[in-house]
Amino acid sequence: MNSNSFPSIKLTRRTFSEMRSQIIFITFAIILVLVQSHWSLRSEDRCINYYRTGRNFDLNQMNGEFYAVYFWPPIQRERDTCGVLNFRIMSDEDVEAATAECDGVIDDDDTVVQATYRNSTGKLVNVIYFGNEEVKHLMRSCDKVYKYLFIRINDDYVMGINCSSGGRGILLAKYLPGLSEVQTVVRGIEFMTGREGKPDCPLQ
């Protein structure tokens, strides 16, 4: 009887050891996720504090065609032609239809605009920008909402900064400019000094 019991004891100890290893692994994974989330939030806040100007950008200005002419950091895949974003101000009915599956993401009094463009693979993409405060939001889907800043550079150029994505920046123009003009505009953006960037399309 005693000899038959020993394998059972060994199995129990092995099972306990395996369970303990699994618990340690799961605990470590949870801690890692929490740490990454913490640093992500801190990075997001640092980005907002660095780039915010104190001037609230009115999203109603984002209406019509804008050309994407410069990116920080550079986009690895280059286009044959510059991307065009078509912005339009959304009505309450449009917002309700577009966010029917989202629960309270957009407030009733928020200004909301939709941007439509084709990505580098040719796929048609729709995104939504919303908010009345200086820090706006970019929504790709109900569970993908990012903190976003729009900064007016001059009458013809607007800059967008995604602070939930490492401070990625994009320079938008109301018309397709030449390379020398874009370079001049970029050099005049003091808060981007030192950051590597370039167009992702040929500019004459």
Determine the 3-state secondary structure of 92 from DSSP: helix
Instruction: State the Cα–Cα distance between residues 159 and 136, nearest whole angstrom.
Output: 13
**Structural domain boundaries of the chain?**
1-51, 59-192
Looking at residue 87, its pLDDT comes to 99
According to DSSP, the β-strands at 144-152 and 135-141 are antiparallel
Dihedral, 153, 157, 162, 165 alpha carbons, nearest 10: -110
Residue 194 has a CB neighbour count (10 Å cut-off) of 5
Q: In this predicted model, what pLDDT tens digit does every residue of 111-143 receive, in sequence order? A: 999 999 999 889 999 999 999 999 999 999 999
CATH 3.20.20.120 fits 59-192, yes or no: no
Q: In this predicted model, what pLDDT tens digit does every residue of 151-169 receive, in sequence order? A: 999 999 999 999 999 999 9
Sign of the Cα pseudo-torsion (191, 194, 195, 197, in order): positive
Place of tokens 């808060």: 191
